[in-house]
Structure 1
Amino acid sequence: IKFTNFKCISLDKSFVDFRQCRLKALSRNQVALSLSAKLYQVPVTNVGVNADVYKKANGYRPFMFNITTDFCRFIKYRKQTPFGKMILDAVEKYSNINHTCPYDHDIIIKDLVLESKHLQSLPWPMGDYLLKISFAVNNDWKVTVKSYIQVTEE
């Protein structure tokens, strides 16, 4: 499993802007993701999140998950949203978002490398996927992050 592309889209540049949004090839089968988002209006306390998964098949088609939830509540009670917990478990040790609201600092993810253990709780067929995560603050969508992921045989 590895990242193949990564896009960060700020829908409100007066609220957030990306200083870094990139992938770095570590080896043929290992790619590290890094992101740095500058928040201009802190503290952030009312955050909504939508996680949407697509599988590539003549274009990207909806696949298995489309979840919208209160991010601040989710961070507190992550076991109530198993798919979100799976994503957060993969990202947590590489980022500074592993605490409850408010967020009064920039958001950083540094050198995140996907491993098959991150997805072992779900049956992911081989193929190309798009994980699109959008964040809203006070019910106003601010950011969309698109991670393109390839799942291959081990």
Structure 2
Amino acid sequence: MAILGRLLLCFALWHILQVCRVSKFTNVECFNIDESFTNFTLCRLYAVKRDVVEMSLRVNIFRWPKRPVSMRLQLLKKASGYKPFLYNVCQSDVCEYLEKRNHPFVNIILNSFANRTNVVRCPLPREIILEHFRFPVKVLDLMPLPSGDYALFSTFSFEGKERALVKVYFSITEYR
């Protein structure tokens, strides 16, 4: 009986001390840097519930280049403005990455919305869609981030010029 009592006490203490996390998107911005390359037809957040926000994006690619398109993912944290935080990853060829899946940080980000998008492998479709994507709370188990405001900037470029930019802002709040 004493062992059972200790187990129940340990379980109760673990449950009380467990940290809960609330994570949600706070803003999204999409930029057509080169309007002859892309056009964002949808770029917005939808408040589903008080703590649940969904993101939807639609972008049309007018002319897919013959040369590789590179992608840069930057994770930033807000501290007197947004400052670089942990990751600044540049993939020189998006199609090569989609074939090999060889970067852990990029894998975590792209796998989190794999079932909400039509981007699977190359050739990429003319219209790229991401619909009703909620903040992937399970990502925080793989990549634990402290409380705060963050941004994830995705820049797409080819021939040495930036062509499109997506800025996603989110917050993480811990409470007991």
Please give the range of the TM-score, normalised by the shorter of the 2 chains: over 0.9
2:107 match: secondary structure: helix
Gaps of 5+ in 2: 1-22
Q: Does 1:76 align with 2:99?
A: yes
State the Cα distance separating 1:98 from its structure 2 match: 1.5
State the Cα distance separating 1:74 from its structure 2 match: 1.1
RMSD: 1.5
Q: Which has the higher helix share?
A: 2
State the Cα distance separating 1:90 from its structure 2 match: 1.1
State the Cα distance separating 1:48 from its structure 2 match: 0.5
Q: How far apart, CA to CA, are the structure 1 residues paired with 2:80 and 2:51?
A: 24
Gaps of 5+ in 1: none
The answer (yes or no) to whether the contact 1:125–1:151 under 8 Å persists in 2 is yes
TM-score (norm 2): 0.81
Matches within 5 A, 1:1-154: 1-42=23-64, 46-69=68-91, 70-78=93-101, 80-99=102-121, 101-153=122-174
State the Cα distance separating 1:120 from its structure 2 match: 1.5
* CA shift in 2, pair 1:24/1:128, >3 Å: same
2:146 match: secondary structure: coil
Matched AA of 2:169: Y
TM-score (norm 1): 0.92
Matched AA of 2:35: K
1:116 match: secondary structure: coil
The answer (yes or no) to whether the contact 1:44–1:104 under 8 Å persists in 2 is no
Number of the residue aligned with 2:3: none
When Rg is computed on C-alpha atoms for both structures, the one with the higher figure is: 2
Identity, % of aligned positions = 35
May I ask how many residue pairs the two structures share in their alignment? 152
